[in-house]
Amino acid sequence: MVKIALNIKANLDNIEELKPCGPDFRWCVQFTCSNCGEKSDKWNYISLSDQVPAEHGRDVFHFSCKCKLCSRVNTVTILGDSVKSYGVEDLEKFKRIVVFDCRGIEPSNFSAREGWIAKAIDGGKEFRDVDLSEGEWADYCDKIQQPVGIYEIEHNFERIK
Ligand code: ZN
């Protein structure tokens, strides 16, 4: 099993914190099978609130799939306490926001999609259900009377010990 961290970088405009909405947040990823190398182009949603029991033993996974090429069953567990937010202090750099415990597969791509919460600076509004499907998001906060936005989202994956 391999632990893979997802790191993101974004440009925040009058936003102090960007975070997943909670256990129901769905991480949207593509996987590559570590056994046969099959790089799937299917997008999969993985959520802490989806639990898949193991066929044997008592382990619980958050995602399980059978490789369509080699038929091996691969699983992923989200490390719940690894989920972090991205904030103004992280600007200009990548920050680790979640760690996946991967057995037999590794993530090859990530799409931010929906379900984010963004909090405006200076005690401004908390925007719920922020949609980053287009790679950016913009709105207006009437509390601080400023435009707010999230732009230039980038990601990478990192193998960790
Ligand atoms: Zn395979």
- In the reported structure, the alpha carbon of residue 27 is separated from the centroid of ligand 1 by a whole-number distance in angstroms of 21
- Classify strands 126-130 and 52-53 as parallel, antiparallel or unpaired: unpaired
Model pLDDT for residues 61-106, shown as the tens digit of each residue:
999 999 999 999 999 999 999 999 999 999 999 999 999 999 999 9
Q: Determine the Cα–Cα distance for residues 46 and 6; give it in Å rounded to an integer.
A: 13
- How far CA 21 is from CA of 35, 111, 138, in Å, comes to 33, 15, 18
- Measured CA angle at 5 (ends 110, 61), to 5 deg: 85
Q: Report the separation in Å between the CA atom of 54 and the middle of ligand 1, taken as the mean of its atom positions.
A: 19
Cα 21 from chain centroid (whole Å):
11
pTM (two decimals) = 0.94
70 Cα–ligand 1 center, Å: 4
Distance 40 CA to ligand 1 centre (A): 9
